[in-house]
Structure 1
Amino acid sequence: MTIECEVKSIEALACNTYRILLHPENPVSFKAGQYLMVVMGEKDKRPFSIASSPCRHQGELELHIGAAEHNAYAYEVVEAMKVAHQNNGKITIDAPHGDAWIREGQTRPILLIAGGTGFSYVRSILDHCLAQNVTNDIFLYWGGRDERQLYACSEIEEITKLKSNVHFIPVVEESNDAWSGRVGNVLQAIEDDFVSLSEYDIYIAGRFEMAGTAREKFTLMKGAKADHMFGDAYAFI
């Protein structure tokens, strides 16, 4: 379903990463973990995870878009959003899409894995779980090149102080002296931390190579069930 949206705000979250709030002219019904497509042309629709959760998005749709100039695919979308915002124009979206939404009513512990702005996908799921008072253990692993890419660390750390079932492990590839967290590859951190993933529902967002590696490694080495691993990438790889 295509819908016209007002661009309510654009805010820099980190270097080349933006939070964009869209206000659709008609309400959009979606599930936590789904995505929308920004319509750039008749045959040009570009997917982005919805960062807001369906139960408390107040009619607006939140996107987190990483848009460095060398990434024209996302950069052009952010530029189009800026033009619409400045000129009271509209952006057309096609939504909702995706089958990697949260499976509700399960008692299994939940493992959320994000690479970079893949965080927007797991943020929607986490926020929905919090709003629904889910008591399952939730482990969130977020990997980035450096600390600056993990723009919502303080937000998630505050949640862990309030919710004893939420566990947050940020992982950076490059660190400085001020960084006290994990350093290395986020998938390796998970391998190191879990003896078995056989009882987990796993939700992952990041590059297709990352999702593919996670499925291969975790099913072979950690007993994860492929049918309990969810990610938009798995519709294509």
Structure 2
Amino acid sequence: MEDIEKFIHGFSRFQQQYLGEHCLFNSLREAQRPGTLVIGCCDSRVDPALLTGSDPGDMFVVRNVANLVPPCTPDAPPGVASAIEFAVCGLEVERVIVLGHARCGGIRALMSPRRLAQETDFVGRWMRHAEPVRQRVLRELSHKTDDEQHKGCEMASILHSLDNLLTYPWLRRRVEEGRLRLHGWYFDIDSGALLAYSARQQEFLPLVCPLEKPEMERRRA
């Protein structure tokens, strides 16, 4: 019940901030015009709007386990594909960000598969979309620790999703025409940094560096 009370009080604050006279929703009631589509993870620690300090209307968000984008096929999961289609073709967003993160439970399930229930395995079935990534990580990072393999898989799955985005013909056409840009971001929960993939450097580089540790903590380290 404490959680429910927290949510209700939180909505009251939201109401005062965004729904009063001369507030933001006066311009949002009729339509939304976000410039960015964010494909993020369901993880409760990784809220795209909270991480980026965004207001309502700033971003169109699709969240699923492990921030995956399935390829464009006749049997592609319609929930994710329809959201991407609506954002790109309907809202005409200018950029797409695939936002992954450290300590992702979906990636851990992919790298260490186990059934979560007796009768269903929806997580396992969903994570098969990233099976090529797992195979590549096991092949190329076989000499690394489990934690290093998991982190490598988290980052590689972002690139896999970016590649899969380009299998949607209407999206690829907009990218080729310069009307749409694709970005791969990685939130490092451990360090507090935000990384972005650089195609030129072929690696993830800091967009926002970690907070500097206090002097006492640095001495202990």
TM-score, normalised relative to structure 2: 0.33
| Bigger strand share | 1
TM-score, normalised relative to structure 1: 0.32
| Bigger helix share | 2
